[in-house]
Amino acid sequence: MTDRGTIIEINGPLVRARLPGIASGEQVRLGEMALTGEVIGLDGDRALIQVYESTEMLRPGEGVTPLGYPLSVELGPGLLGGIFDGIQRPLKNLRDQAGDHIPRGLDVPVLDRDKLWSFTPNPELKAGQEIRGGILLGKVQETASIEHRILAPPDISGELVELAGAGDYNLRQVIARIHTPLNGIRELKLFHRWPVRIPRPYARRHEGVAPLLTGQRILDTFFPLLKGGKGAIPGPFGAGKTMLQQQIARWTNADIVIYVGCGERGNELVDILESFPQLTDPYSGRSLMERTLLVANTSNMPVVAREASIYLGVTLAEYFRDQGHDVVMLADSTSRWAEALREVAGRLGQMPVEEGYPAYLASRLASFYERAGRVKTLSGESGSVSLIGAVSPPGGDFSEPVTNHTKDIIQTFWALSKPLADARHYPSVSWIESFSDAVEAAAKWWSKEVDPNWQEKRILALNLLSAAEELARIINLVGAEALSPQQRWTVEMATLVREGLLQQNALDDVDSYCSPQKQFALLDLIIGLYQQGQELVKANVPVSALLALPLLSRTRRCKNLYGNDQLEELTALGREFQEELEKLHRKYEEQKA
């Protein structure tokens, strides 16, 4: 805490100060209110500081104190189930200390320093052994479902002097001493700090092999994302972005979910905070909150911390990845993050390129998404970070810069459609505009784990939908009467795919989560029906006779009727259908004869 500087100018969240000897990226405290800020530019002895809190009533002449380290995150037990603001202040503690509103300049420790954790040391480590960064020191059972692995900070190496034995420790206590060649003895605790803007190192990258399952048919079956993949959900307001993200957070088969509410509504986070503790994780059977971590910079919170919140979230994700977990980070919304960049760039007088965004928008987006991936960690385990970013294009225009650049970077694009949402078709993921580069890899998994015919049926369903789209144009010009019986059957069956398969009501108890097995059973049922019906139509059985089958309206509802554990009912329905269709066929054959 040396080198005090002086404020020269205040322009909204940007402050210029005389601050010789400061490093770019270093954190500072400003004025009597002790506001937190970060140095983002240097010009001789002048530093440009972006301030995470409102600068109202700050004045030139007040002092600046450097903190000596860049914006960093505390990593250790006690993170899960927590909710933090954009610079990792725990919001629960803030409320306990300061009431309902967030005051300025408050400094609270991130992780509870006094809580005791039951630590089990890594039995393979012996004193005198060579230690590298990222190595496993021991374990703490953080929640019933999540084991927190205590890792040596990635930037350390040296000789292990001492490792604590099994027992209860708090975050102040030393659990290991390491003799480093350069800095002598370093004491390690259950937590360490890491700068958020620097990706955490890993041993090497792997290709993604398993899909990240979400229980949502339009995502898993039609536009899959891999564990370690990057996806985007663009959509105009009211298209259901938040709802879809919450569904993913709820049902995904990842070990840890990090949800970053970046410049979005306060009530949405409350919704998660109130509902998640009551929901159970479908895989571990424990409360969902035990595997969830929230970062909240709502739209009324200071804009500069919004920019930081995304990096905070992804660093947390990497930390859990390094422990060998599969982590999903959901960022809602990356557009607000880009706008925060734009706001700061504008105040810096940087040249705007597209819609006022600075020229480095694309590279910042790319380097953020690049932090996703499936890796071999420094401790030799396999872990992954999957990144899913919501995008809020102005006016729903997908050609705007943020959507456009994001599209170039990501592998899976879940485009939300306003017309579908207006007709209350949810999830409103468009089967025309969405894409996934991960189908091939996912197909291997589905074919091995669920059914070898997955890819074939999936393509049939997509072709059926696009054929119907073509026919819809004809109908709009000349009416449905102009269609041939074949075409009419295609249109009707595409409707069945939409209603019986793609639509999925998040609020429905039975259908909110659909297991991969049920996803395939429904797909198989509907595609089977389409193909058999097609044969009958070719054999001149009138379409109206097919449509009059009472089984048809049951098929439309069977996603809600049969749960994930009632697949044999779906198979039985398929058989029943086959019999009905054969009967119908015979009847018409006889009539002909």
Site for another protein in 223-252 (CB under 8 A): 236-238
Using the minimum distance from each CB to another protein, give the nearer residue, 351 or 593. 351
- Tell me the C-alpha to C-alpha distance, in Å, between residue 11 and each of 7, 49, 58, 474: 11, 10, 10, 59
Asked if 56 is part of the footprint of another protein (rule: CB under 8 A), the reply reads: yes
Residue 451: CB minimum distance to another protein, A: 27
Among residues 556, 570, 577, 584, the one that binds another protein under rule CB under 8 A: 556
Whose Cβ is closer to another protein: residue 532's or residue 555's? Answer: 555
Q: Confirm if 71 and 313 have CB atoms less than 8 A apart.
A: no
Q: Contact between 481 and another protein (CB under 8 A)?
A: yes
Q: Pick from 57, 166, 174, 572: which binds another protein (CB under 8 A)?
A: 57
What's the min distance (Å) between Cβ of 156 and another protein?
35
* The two three-digit tokens of residue 33, written as one number: 């209110």
Supply the angle between the helices 334-347 and 401-409 in degrees, to the nearest 10: 120
CB of 208 to another protein, least distance (A): 32
Placement of tokens 């209860």 in the chain: 168
Q: Which stretch binds another protein (CB under 8 A): 133-141, 261-269, 523-531, 563-571?
A: 261-269
Amino acid at 554: R
Name the H helices within 329-437. 334-347, 361-369, 401-409, 418-422
Residue 574 one-letter amino acid = G
- Cβ proximity to another protein: between 144 and 359 the closer is 359
Name the minimum Å distance from CB 31 to another protein.
10
Task: Please report how close the Cβ of residue 550 comes to another protein at its closest, in angstroms.
Answer: 8
Judged by CB under 8 A, which of 36, 323, 384, 392 binds another protein?
392
Burial of 43 (0-12, 13-18, 19+ CB in 10 A): exposed
Contact window for another protein (CB under 8 A) among 42-50, 206-214, 417-425, 429-437: 417-425
Piece of the chain touching another protein by CB under 8 A; list 143-151, 172-180, 282-290, 476-484: 476-484
Length of the chain: 593
Question: In angstroms, what is the minimal distance from the CB of 483 to another protein?
Answer: 12
Contact 188, 175 (CB under 8 A): yes
Q: Among candidates 494, 591, 487, which has minimal Cα distance to 543?
A: 487
HSE-CB of 497 using CA atoms within 13 angstroms: 31
Kindly identify the residues of this chain, within the stretch 483-512, that bind another protein according to CB under 8 A: 499, 505, 507
117 neighbors 91 (Cβ within 8 angstroms):
no
Stretch that binds another protein, among 21-29, 57-65, 132-140, 315-323 (CB under 8 A): 57-65
In whole angstroms, give the CA distance from residue 89 to residue 165: 31
Quick one: which segment of 264-272, 409-417, 439-447, 520-528 binds another protein (CB under 8 A)? 264-272
Binding residue for another protein (CB under 8 A) from 147, 162, 271, 492? Answer: 271
Nearer to another protein, 67 or 480 (CB): 480
Whichever of 91 and 160 has its CB closer to another protein, that residue is 91
Shortest reach from residue 393's CB to another protein, in Å? 9
Q: Which of the 8 DSSP states describes residue 320?
A: H
Judged by beta carbon, residue 57 or residue 144, the one nearer another protein is 57
279 touches another protein (CB under 8 A) = no
Distance between CA atoms of residues 444 and 208, nearest Å: 11
For residues 214 and 246, which CB has a smaller minimum distance to another protein in the complex?
246
Query: Which secondary-structure segment (H or E) carries 394?
Result: none
Please report, as residue ranges, which positions from 189 to 228 form the binding site for another protein (by CB under 8 A).
none
The site map against another protein for 422-461 (x = CB under 8 A) is: xxxx------------------------------------
Of 8 and 443, nearer to another protein (C-beta) is 8
How far is the C-alpha of 88 from the C-alpha of 501, rounded, in Å? 41
By CB under 8 A, what part of segment 126-165 binds another protein?
none
Distance of alpha carbon 337 from alpha carbon 368, whole angstroms: 11
Written as one string, the DSSP assignment of 18-85 is: E-TTPPTTEEEEETTTTEEEEEEEEETTEEEEEESS--TT--TT-EEEEEEEESEEEESTT-TT-EE-
Q: Specify whether the CB–CB gap between 259 and 272 falls below 8 A.
A: yes
Count of other CB atoms within 10 angstroms of residue 457: 18
Selected range binding another protein among 50-58, 247-255, 282-290, 323-331, rule: CB under 8 A:
50-58
Tell whether residue 59 is a contact of another protein (CB under 8 A).
yes
385 membership: H or E segment, kind and range: strand 382-391
Query: What are the beta bridge partners of residue 440?
Result: none
Does residue number 386 form part of the binding site for another protein (CB under 8 A)? no
State which H helix or E strand residue 123 sits in. none
Which of 284, 299 has the CB closer to another protein? 299
Number of neighbours of residue 137 by Cβ within 10 angstroms: 22
Smallest gap from Cβ 241 to another protein, in A, equals 10
Number of residues that bind another protein (CB under 8 A): 77
Q: Which of residues 78-107 bind another protein (CB under 8 A)?
A: 83, 91-92, 94-95, 99-104
Residue of 475, 483, 510, 567 interacting with another protein (CB under 8 A): 475
Give which of 90, 42, 35 is closest to 65, Cα–Cα: 35
Contact pattern from residue 333 through residue 372 relative to another protein, giving x for each residue in contact according to CB under 8 A and a dash for the rest: ---x--x--xx-xx-----x--xx----------------
Token pair, residue 268, equals 């949405």
Q: How far is the CB of 462 from another protein (least distance, A)?
A: 22
Give the C-alpha separation, 271 to 260, whole Å.
Answer: 14
Q: Which of residues 285-314 bind another protein (CB under 8 A)?
A: 296, 298-303
Among residues 396, 528, 563, 574, which is the contact residue for another protein, using CB under 8 A? 396
